[in-house]
Structure 1
């Protein structure tokens, strides 16, 4: 067996588009969820209006999630991965409580899932921004463009806590850094 290593490129394909995005979960709807792909195709930003978890209320209020599946369109000869995620968080976490957000991604029909998790332990109040690297990179197969699936969860535990992945007010913002590499030529 011959293994060929291909380095991630600082470049990106000449054109990338998002054909469609499907959302499902307690933290996102089509009315309150938006996304933007940067002009250089190196970041995808998602904004959610419903990603607020709180200990005030029912058991279901302690956890919010959003499963996104988006179809990228890019030319043959490229592979994509997500290297890191930046979350903007508002937290009001009391002592003996914590807020947690986690993100994982995978490609439809492929093996492998990458995950990050961030915990905020109380007491802590304020807006925070965290950038976390995925420890494992999952790459799309070369010359195939499977759906990229991202699942994000916000949850709180303990006596008193509210957490929203937040950019303005109750909008949760999560920025994914896309990494591109050219496939080996056969």
Structure 2
């Protein structure tokens, strides 16, 4: 029988591992442009099939909550390879005043996990902009317990949208997987993205 979110027992705290060099201090986001419009926000991937994801923005269009009802990674008996790894790619198309550029101030991954001894859960996130070279990425590891988790990480090397235009398309690809797949384990995930702005 497969695990479900409702079957999770909250017991011992979960251990979150991240390389110190990948984390930087939290800073306040600069004011967004006065004119800012979300042209499109879409998701695609095994962790967010059509109709299972919802993207909501706050009143400033700088914080985006991505609710992923089917982003559940699980391993153990009666599971298949497609269950052991999931991904979700968020594409965010923004239109704003010229003379600004933006990056991700933070990406928060929140959810539930069951990671028994001898098993590791792993999540990675990669951010890039359509039409630009380069990307920013980081990895996080879960191990040793059951219960809710909250991962807040900032990429050590940020990537900014290009200057000179009033539009940009940001792509963020989140992946989570469990290894080895023989033991019963689970990760269920939602994502929050905060944007940081600056003048060119």
User: Where on the TM-score scale, by shorter chain, does this alignment land: which range?
Assistant: 0.7 to 0.9
Distance 1:12 1:47 in 2: 24
- Report matched runs for 1:1-186 at 5 Å: 10-56=30-76, 57-122=79-144, 124-144=145-165, 145-158=167-180, 159-165=183-189, 173-183=190-200
Distance 2:58 2:83 in 1: 33
What whole-Å deviation, never above 9, does each CA across 1:107-144 have from its counterpart, x for those lacking one?
0010111112211112x100111211111110000133
C-alpha contact (below 8 Å) 2:29/2:105 kept by paired residues: no
Moved segments of 4+, more than 4 Å:
none
Secondary structure of the equivalent of 1:44? strand
Return the TM-score normalized by structure 2.
Answer: 0.79
Distance 2:29 2:170 in 1: 19
What whole-Å deviation, never above 9, does each CA across 1:43-64 have from its counterpart, x for those lacking one?
1221111111111301111001
Distance 1:91 1:182 in 2: 40
Secondary structure of the equivalent of 1:147? strand
Which ranges of structure 1 fall in alignment gaps of 5 or more residues? 1-7, 166-172
Q: How many residues align?
A: 168
What is the RMSD computed on CA atoms of the aligned residues?
A: 1.5
Q: Aligned pair in 2 of structure 1 residues 66, 157: CA closer, same or farther (>3 Å)?
A: same
Which ranges of structure 2 fall in alignment gaps of 5 or more residues? 1-27
Distance 2:69 2:138 in 1: 21
Distance 2:164 2:33 in 1: 12
